[in-house]
Structure 1
Amino acid sequence: MEIRQLTSSDAPKYWDLRLEALKLAPDAFLTSYEDAIKRENPVAQVVSNLTIEGNYTFGAFDGDDLIGVVTLLQEKAEKIQHRANIFAMYVTPKKQGLGVGEALLTEAINKAKSIKGIEKINLSVVASNEPAKKLYTKLGFKVYGLEEKAMKLNGVYLDDEHRVLHLK
């Protein structure tokens, strides 16, 4: 397994994995599969996102196959530039439980540590997602809040747990 920052040439594979994530884990993302497939030129949008300063998307590869992703995004506004956020964490089901998520998240944390000015990383996770919560706890993320009814999926409300990892 290789972990590396994605480049624009990885955009088609990223988009395919993103659609899989939205289809198979709809409770883990704010974007729905239905909304995603309506986008115009989605691969071009991914290319654009991958080249934005302060936006770091890492991929886990098994040979040529992209099997997992995570995005670290540094805040741009002056007063909150000390913060970064973890978004769009996903590992394809057949590779879950093998350390792929931990390797991806560790790479994102190390990247944040290497950027002057980033002091903490925030993330949100659906409160019922025990495997993800276990991983985040293992890597030092602490709960700082719970948003009740953060999302509504097929008539069911889901709570979000907000977590933080202080780097300094």
Structure 2
Amino acid sequence: MDAGGIHIRPLGAADAVPYRALRLESLRNFQFAHGPAYDDALAQSEAWHADRLARPDYTWFGAFDGTLLVGAICLRAKAGSRLRHSASLNSLMVAQSHQRAGIGRLLTAHLIEHARSLGHLRRLTLTLIDGNAPARRLYDAFGFQSFGVEPDAIYHEGGYRAIHHLHLPLVSQVTP
């Protein structure tokens, strides 16, 4: 996918160095948007990041401005024949230099299109930290719906915050 000079392509282990840099920047600058803490992630090696990008249950996409990785998103599959109809949207990140340029929207649209193209997925889920209004607006625009709130799920800046659970049906009607 290519739009506005931004190109989206799958990420793999060979992208570990730019992915690690983007992840650390996002965890440092947008702590409110992520579960992991920056200091914890700082201790994770390039090899750890390469392994994360190569996991068979994760499908990563990166947004590139030329050769610069400026955004990433992950589709995480669920294992087992009874759960394989559902996957989750994880780890949406956009570099601070490219905020408010539509890259998060582009990555989310790409991931949803990819999930639908697989043919077996019935829904996507995601979690969102309470108070992350920009992300909530983005997911609402794609039709994600709330299905629950987990109180005191994450500790952030001296207090506990809830996590909202959202889902997006990928099929138009439910069949048994």
Q: Same fold (TM over 0.5)?
A: yes
Q: Distance in 1 between matches of 2:88 and 2:102?
A: 21
Unpaired runs of 5+ in structure 2? Answer: 1-5, 172-176
Q: Which moved more, 1:152-161 or 1:43-52?
A: 43-52
Structure 2 partner of 1:9: 14
- Overall identity of the aligned pairs, in %: 31
Q: Which amino acid aligns with 2:28?
A: K
* TM-score after normalising by structure 2: 0.89
Structure 2 partner of 1:36: 41
Q: Distance in 1 between matches of 2:40 and 2:130?
A: 23
Q: Which amino acid aligns with 1:6?
A: L
* TM-score after normalising by structure 1: 0.93
Unpaired runs of 5+ in structure 1? Answer: none
Q: Distance in 2 between matches of 1:78 and 1:129?
A: 34
Structure 1 partner of 2:128: 125
- Is 1:77 matched with 2:80? yes
Q: Displacement, 1:2?
A: 0.6
Runs of 4+ in 1 over 6 A off after TM superposition: none
Q: Which amino acid aligns with 1:13?
A: P
Q: Distance in 1 between matches of 2:34 and 2:153?
A: 11
Q: Distance in 2 between matches of 1:103 and 1:54?
A: 22
Check whether the contact 2:26–2:96 (CA below 8 A) recurs between aligned residues: no
**2:56 corresponds to which of 53, 74, 90:** 53
Structure 2 partner of 1:103: 106
Q: Which amino acid aligns with 2:62?
A: G
Aligned length: 166
Structure 1 partner of 2:23: 18
Q: Which amino acid aligns with 2:106?
A: A
